[in-house]
Homo-oligomer: A and B are copies of this chain.
Amino acid sequence: MTFDSMWSSIEPIGREASTGGYRRYAWTGADATLREWFAAEAAARGLGLVTDRAGNQWAWWGDPDAAVAVGRPGVVIGSHLDSVPDGGAFDGPLGVVSALAVVDVLKARGLEPSRPVAVVNFVDEEGARFGIACAGSRMITGKLEAGKALGLRDVDGVTMAEAMAAAGHAVEHVGPDIETLRRIGTFVELHVEQGRALIDLGRPVAVGSVIRPHGRWRVDLAGEANHAGTTLLEDRHDPMLDLATTVLAAREAAAGHGCVATVGKVRLEPNGVNAIPSRVTAWLDARGPGETAVRAVVAAAVRQSGAVAVEESWTPETVFDIPLAQRLSTLLDDAPMLATGAGHDAGVLAMAGLSTAMLFVRNPTGISHSPAEFAEREGCHRGVEALAAVTEDLAR
């Protein structure tokens, strides 16, 4: 199948009609459909499908273990197929579909790679269901401990272990997966750009330089539930006031420190129109040029409320393989190098010491994690060409 026909075939999967956005969460029915689609595409190309301990899918062209034995481990390309809540069509799937298209391009050119090539579909990159992003790559690299991961619960109280088991994945094997990691000589993740730098630069594709440090914090704001109509203002302990000061302080501090800060998820208890909340839980996402700046923003956000910001995840600055990035940039007509504020499986693998790179495909809206996320079809094709050139160069 061509890029266009593959794109059309997955377009309806997990799409929410009311918003036009995608709800492709890990280990759900939509996810299973996408995983079956991936397996079928691998089979159609004669690729050997391997599912690793965490559930990531690898479709191999060539024998990965024979290559490891002679010290020439494979070239891996791909991304993920899951989405954030009401996310866009491109974040993740563009990298997987482009990688499959690259296999077709290289086969059509008659390439006989001297190193095996794999297309990967990482599971649960967005963490939309269980709260931890890049869960699939974190589990195989040991950055997310299996016991902790399997005990995570979704909003319905279902654990990751239960969800995996229901989807037919063998939970008892979850854990670090050295066999899988040693097969990876180089990983190149193609991704839709999450910003508008390429539009401004007039270029179709960029190479990733660094992932800026970022983290997530949970802020628990305690209140006292009471009747909205009969409780005097002076008798109230209304945690919504603390939420308001947290949101405004986070924004102000982010502006002052050159960071970004977002409260995108909130839970009110009991969330009734005529009841003062007993508790508000807010999640704060903060990212910036350095750890000191980011942590200053988090501290400022909770200063007035006196609440504690509980760190749920922290990722230090991740620098991709610099010589590799320069090699790719040169190969792609001196493609610009871009830093990003978004986490990716490529970043997790880089932190684990693997050689990784990223390619970004132009996004005319600059918007991502939204139904408005976009890449022009011509831009997607340019992305496939770039990834094909890079893969051919690395696998020759």
Taking the closest CB of chain B, its distance from the CB of A278, in whole angstroms, is 7
Contacts of A265 in B (CB 8 A): 268, 271-273
Give the residue of B19, B254, B275, B287 whose beta carbon is less than 8 angstroms from that of A264.
B275
Q: Is A115 an interface residue (CB 8 A)?
A: no
Q: Are B270 and A21 in contact (CB under 8 A)?
A: yes
Q: Is A285 an interface residue (CB 8 A)?
A: yes
Q: Are B229 and A285 in contact (CB under 8 A)?
A: yes
Contacts of A247 in B (CB 8 A): 240-241, 243-244
Q: A241-B248, A244-B243, A262-B276 are in contact. Are A372 and B271 (CB under 8 A)?
A: no
Contacts of A229 in B (CB 8 A): 194, 212, 214, 260, 285, 287, 340-343
Q: How far is the CA of A231 from the CA of B238 in the complex (A)?
A: 31
Taking the closest CB of chain B, its distance from the CB of A72, in whole angstroms, is 35
Give the residue of B228, B262, B371 whose beta carbon is less than 8 angstroms from that of A274.
B262
Q: Are B369 and A272 in contact (CB under 8 A)?
A: yes
Contacts of A268 in B (CB 8 A): 264-266
Give the residue of B85, B341, B371 whose beta carbon is less than 8 angstroms from that of A230.
B341
Q: Is A195 an interface residue (CB 8 A)?
A: yes
* Residue among A128, A195, A229, A287 having the largest count of chain B Cβ atoms under 10 Å: A229
- Chain B residue with the shortest CB-CB distance to A23: B270
Name A's interface SS. loop
Contacts of A270 in B (CB 8 A): 19, 21, 84-87
Q: How far is the CA of A24 from the CA of B260 in the complex (A)?
A: 42
Q: Are A226 and B133 in contact (CB under 8 A)?
A: no
Give the residue of B21, B224, B244, B271 whose beta carbon is less than 8 angstroms from that of A367.
B224
Q: Is A127 an interface residue (CB 8 A)?
A: yes
Q: Is A225 an interface residue (CB 8 A)?
A: yes
Q: How far is the CA of A238 from the CA of B128 in the complex (A)?
A: 20
Beta-carbon contacts under 8 Å, A187-209 to B: 194-195
Q: Can you list 11 pairs linking A and B with CB atoms under 8 Å apart?
A: A19-B269, A21-B225, A86-B275, A216-B274, A225-B370, A226-B366, A228-B285, A230-B368, A241-B247, A264-B271, A278-B370
